[in-house]
């Protein structure tokens, strides 16, 4: 529908005021982020604003692509919370510093549970321990009526691998009766430092059956499905499964014998309103 001049004139002042208010809010959030001080996001003065948080736990299972290695099974907390200033998704945390109604840019951090010990497999005997780590970086995410997209960049902040990774995720949400399905596809780039730390073989670790190997940067592809179903008003069950197709620079390693890395989790969640 074409707007009449009178209608267009009425929208000019609110738009300018909104931009000015947004700029002031962005400046405030940047200051908060740099100072590492947590405050609540500015809210309407009606006093009836409420937030929701889903808290729970469950077993996390992840296969290891190393020869003869058993899957990892660890208890893991699950938290879903987003108040448009801070967010927690699974074990990943973040803080927005810019954005709009349907998109946001944030600083973010998450654990990296890719470590192993020599005792995990006969093929790893004599190898130095590769430790789990934490990584931090930036994320830009947006959504519309079709689905959502998120681009993230992380770097190892504990200097275990000193590596980096970038990830693009595209997905959508599908409501089917009481069930919520969230399928997505992912493209992940891992730096040479990252891949070489977890999949390389150092010269001092080499044997006749395990030659020295230096892994280069590579791209993995993944499919992911998240499902949630309510048990009652505030109790939910969620499940996630994911399959990663590993880059050739990883599968060419003498300690790797699987092209796929599978992971999944089932958790019981309770919804808090405050």
**172 found inside a domain:** yes
Same domain, 228 and 133: yes
Same domain, 16 and 111: no
Query: Residue 4 contacts by C-beta under 8 Å, 6 or more apart in sequence?
Result: none
Q: Identify the DSSP state of 29.
A: H
Give residue for tokens 């069930």: 179
**186 found inside a domain:** yes
Contact 87, 99 (CB under 8 A): no
Same domain, 109 and 176: yes
Query: Residue 143 contacts by C-beta under 8 Å, 6 or more apart in sequence?
Result: 102, 103, 149
Dump strand ranges (E) for the chain: 52-62, 72-82, 86-90, 92-99, 103-112, 133-143, 148-156, 164-171, 174-176, 179-190, 218-230, 235-245, 260-273
Query: Residue 218 contacts by C-beta under 8 Å, 6 or more apart in sequence?
Result: 189, 190, 195, 246, 247, 248, 249, 250
Q: What angle do CA 25, 28, 33 make, to 5 degrees?
A: 125
CA distances from 53 to 86, 230, 269 (A): 12, 14, 10
**44 found inside a domain:** no
Domain residue limits at 111: 49-273
Same domain, 54 and 27: no
pLDDT digit of tens for each residue in the chain (274 aa)?
433 333 333 333 334 443 333 333 333 333 333 333 232 333 333 345 689 999 999 999 999 999 999 999 989 999 999 998 999 998 899 999 999 889 999 999 999 989 999 999 999 999 999 999 999 999 999 999 999 999 999 999 999 999 999 999 999 999 988 999 999 999 999 999 999 999 999 999 999 999 999 999 999 999 999 999 999 999 999 999 999 999 999 999 999 999 999 999 999 999 999 8
Same domain, 166 and 256: yes
Same domain, 86 and 206: yes
Report pLDDT for 50: 83
φ, ψ dihedrals at 85, nearest 5°: -125, -55
Query: Closest by alpha carbon to 134, among 173, 170, 160?
Result: 160
3-state class (DSSP) for residue 44: coil
Number of domains in the chain: 2
Same domain, 78 and 211: yes
Same domain, 136 and 192: yes
3-state class (DSSP) for residue 25: helix
**CA 183 to CA 255: how far, in whole Å?**
31
**120 found inside a domain:** yes
Task: Give bridge partners of residue 245 from the DSSP assignment.
Answer: 221, 260
**CA 201 to CA 9: how far, in whole Å?**
67
**43 found inside a domain:** no
CA distances from 157 to 138, 164, 166, 229 (A): 13, 10, 15, 36
Report pLDDT for 71: 94
Q: Does the predicted model carry a pTM greater than 0.75?
A: yes
């Amino acid at each position: 529908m074409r707007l009449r001049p009178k209608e267009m004139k009425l929208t000019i002042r609110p738009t300018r005021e909104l931009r000015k208010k947004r700029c002031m809010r962005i400046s405030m959030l940047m200051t908060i982020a740099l100072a590492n001080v947590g405050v609540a996001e500015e809210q309407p003065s009606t006093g009836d604003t409420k937030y929701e948080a889903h808290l729970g736990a469950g077993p996390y299972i992840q296969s290891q692509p190393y020869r003869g290695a058993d899957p990892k099974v660890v208890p893991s907390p699950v938290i879903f919370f987003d108040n448009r200033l801070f967010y927690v998704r699974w074990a990943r945390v973040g803080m927005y510093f810019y954005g709009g109604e349907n998109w946001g840019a944030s600083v973010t951090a998450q654990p990296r549970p890719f470590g192993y010990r020599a005792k995990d497999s006969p093929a790893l005997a004599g190898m130095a321990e590769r430790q789990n780590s934490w990584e931090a970086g930036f994320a830009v995410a947006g959504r519309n009526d079709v689905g959502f997209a998120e681009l993230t960049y992380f770097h190892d902040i504990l200097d275990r691998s000193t590596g980096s990774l970038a990830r693009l995720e595209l997905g959508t949400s599908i409501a089917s009766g009481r069930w919520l399905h969230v399928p997505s596809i992912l493209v992940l780039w891992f730096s040479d430092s990252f891949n070489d730390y977890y999949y390389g073989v150092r010269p001092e670790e080499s044997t006749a059956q395990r030659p020295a190997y230096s892994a280069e940067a590579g791209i993995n592809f993944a499919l992911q499905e998240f499902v949630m179903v309510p048990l009652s008003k505030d109790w939910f069950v969620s499940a996630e499964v994911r399959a990663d197709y590993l880059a050739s620079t990883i599968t060419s390693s003498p300690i790797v014998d699987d092209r796929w890395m599978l992971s999944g989790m089932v958790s019981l969640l309770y919804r808090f309103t405050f």
